[in-house]
Structure 1
Amino acid sequence: MHSPTVGRQRPKDRKDRIAQVAAELFCERGYHGVSLEDIAGVVGISAPAVYRHFENKYAILVAATRDLIDATLTATALPLREDAWDSLDDLLDALARLAVTHRKTAGLYQWVWRHLTREHQAEVRDDLDELVRRVSVSLFEARPDLGTADAEATTRATFSIFGSLGTHRAVIAKGRAQQLLFRAGRAVLQASPPTPVSGFAVGDPPVRVPVGARREIILAESVRLFRMHGYHDVNIELIGHASGINASSVYRYFPGKADILAAAFYRASERVTEATTIALTGARDDRQALRRMIESYVDLTFERSDLVTVYLAENNNLPEGDRHELRKVQRLHVEEWVRLLVAVRPGLVAGEARVLTHAALNLATDLSRWARFDRRTGMDRHLVRLMNVVLHA
Structure 2
Amino acid sequence: MESVSEGEPAVRRRPKDRKAQIARASADAFGSQGYHAVSMEDIAARVGITPAALYRHSPSKYDLFRDAVLGLSQMLVDVTAFADDTADDNPAETLQALTSALVDATIANRAAGGLYRWEARYLKDPDRAILVHQLKVVNERLQLPLLALRPKLRANQAWTLSSAALTVIGSITDHSNPLAIGEIRSVLNTMTADVLAAELPAGRRRAVSRPQPLTVGAEAGLYEHVLFESVRLFYENGYRNTSMEDIASAVGIQASGLYRSFPGKADILALAYRRAADQHSSDTAAALSRTSDPEEALDEVIDEYLGRVMEWPDLPYVYYTERHNVPPVDLRVLETIESSMMDAWARLVTVARPEMKIGAARYAVGAALALTVDFRRLFARESGPESVATIRRLMEVTLLGRPVRRRR
Give the TM-score of the pair, scaled to structure 1.
0.88
In 2: Cα distance, 1:364 partner to 1:168 partner: 15
User: How do 1:17-28 residues align onto structure 2 when only pairs under 5 Å count?
Assistant: 17-28=21-32
Mark the CA change 1:247 to 1:98 in structure 2 (over 3 Å): closer, same or farther: same
Q: Which of 190, 193, 200 pairs up with 2:200?
A: 193
Task: Answer whether contact 1:374 1:380 (CA < 8 A) is retained.
Answer: no
* Structure 1 residue aligned with 2:70: 66
Task: Answer whether contact 1:30 1:112 (CA < 8 A) is retained.
Answer: yes
In 1: Cα distance, 2:387 partner to 2:192 partner: 19
Question: How far off is 1:166 after superposition?
Answer: 0.9
Matched, 1:361 2:369: yes
Question: How far off is 1:144 after superposition?
Answer: 2.1
Question: How far off is 1:17 after superposition?
Answer: 0.7
* Structure 2 residue aligned with 1:30: 34
Question: How far off is 1:23 after superposition?
Answer: 1.1
User: How do 1:302-381 residues align onto structure 2 when only pairs under 5 Å count?
Assistant: 302-368=310-376, 371=379, 377-381=385-389
* Larger CA deviation: 81-90 vs 155-164: 81-90
Output the amino acid matched with 2:243. Answer: N
Task: Answer whether contact 1:363 1:387 (CA < 8 A) is retained.
Answer: yes
Q: How many pairs align?
A: 379
Output the amino acid matched with 2:334. Answer: L
Matched, 1:236 2:240: no
Matched, 1:265 2:269: no
In 2: Cα distance, 1:373 partner to 1:52 partner: 44
Question: Unaligned regions of 5+ residues in structure 2, if any?
Answer: 1-12, 205-211, 402-408
In 1: Cα distance, 2:254 partner to 2:129 partner: 33
Question: How far off is 1:248 after superposition?
Answer: 4.1
* Structure 1 residue aligned with 2:5: none
Task: Answer whether contact 2:200 2:393 (CA < 8 A) is retained.
Answer: no
In 1: Cα distance, 2:153 partner to 2:225 partner: 41
* Larger CA deviation: 39-48 vs 362-371: 362-371
In 1: Cα distance, 2:351 partner to 2:359 partner: 14
Question: How far off is 1:223 after superposition?
Answer: 0.5
Task: Answer whether contact 1:136 1:155 (CA < 8 A) is retained.
Answer: yes
In 2: Cα distance, 1:241 partner to 1:370 partner: 32
Q: Which of 18, 27, 33 pairs up with 1:14?
A: 18
Output the amino acid matched with 1:360. Answer: A
Give the TM-score of the pair, scaled to structure 2.
0.85
Matched, 1:159 2:163: no
Output the amino acid matched with 1:109. Answer: Y
Question: How far off is 1:42 after superposition?
Answer: 2.1
Output the amino acid matched with 1:102. Answer: N
Q: Deviations over 1:202-252 (max 9, x none)?
A: xxx764124422432332121012122221011123323433444444335
Matched, 1:148 2:152: no
Task: Answer whether contact 1:157 1:367 (CA < 8 A) is retained.
Answer: no
Output the amino acid matched with 1:85. Answer: A
Matched, 1:89 2:93: no
* Structure 2 residue aligned with 1:170: 177
In 2: Cα distance, 1:347 partner to 1:193 partner: 24
In 2: Cα distance, 1:129 partner to 1:152 partner: 10
Matched, 1:50 2:57: no
In 1: Cα distance, 2:376 partner to 2:244 partner: 26
Task: Answer whether contact 1:302 1:368 (CA < 8 A) is retained.
Answer: no
* Structure 2 residue aligned with 1:255: 263
Mark the CA change 1:40 to 1:196 in structure 2 (over 3 Å): closer, same or farther: farther
Q: Deviations over 1:282-309 (max 9, x none)?
A: 1122222222222222222222221122
Output the amino acid matched with 1:71. Answer: M
Question: Unaligned regions of 5+ residues in structure 1, if any?
Answer: 1-8, 198-204
Task: Answer whether contact 2:379 2:387 (CA < 8 A) is retained.
Answer: no
In 2: Cα distance, 1:374 partner to 1:22 partner: 37
SS at structure 1 position matched to 2:185: helix
* Structure 1 residue aligned with 2:141: 134
